[in-house]
Amino acid sequence: MIETKTHFYNILMACLLMFAVFSPVSIAGTNTAWILLLAVWISGTVLKKELKIIHTPLNAPLIIFACIMIISVVLSENIKSSLSGIKSLGLAAIFFLTASSIQGKKQVRALITVLIIFTTISCIYGVFQHFSRTDFLGHKDFLIWPPYRSSGFFNLPLTFAEHVGMVLFVVIALLLAESSPSGFILL
Report yes or no on 15 lying in a domain: no
Q: Measuring CA to CA, which residue among 154, 147, 38 is closest to residue 95?
A: 38
* Residue 81: band (very low, low, confident or very high) from pLDDT cuts 50, 70, 90: confident
Report yes or no on 96 lying in a domain: no
Report yes or no on 170 lying in a domain: yes
Report yes or no on 126 lying in a domain: yes
CA–CA gap between residue 119 and residue 25 (Å, rounded) = 8
- The pTM assigned to this predicted structure is 0.77
CA–CA gap between residue 139 and residue 65 (Å, rounded) = 34
Which domain, by its residues, includes 110? 104-187
Report yes or no on 178 lying in a domain: yes
Report yes or no on 145 lying in a domain: yes
Counting the structural domains of the chain, the total is 1
Is the CB of residue 98 less than 8 Å from the CB of residue 3?
no
For residues 126-130, give the mean pLDDT. 85
Residues in the chain: 187
For residues 129-139, give the mean pLDDT. 78
Report yes or no on 30 lying in a domain: no
Would you state the pLDDT for residue 4?
63
For residues 59-86, give the mean pLDDT. 84
Would you state the pLDDT for residue 120?
93
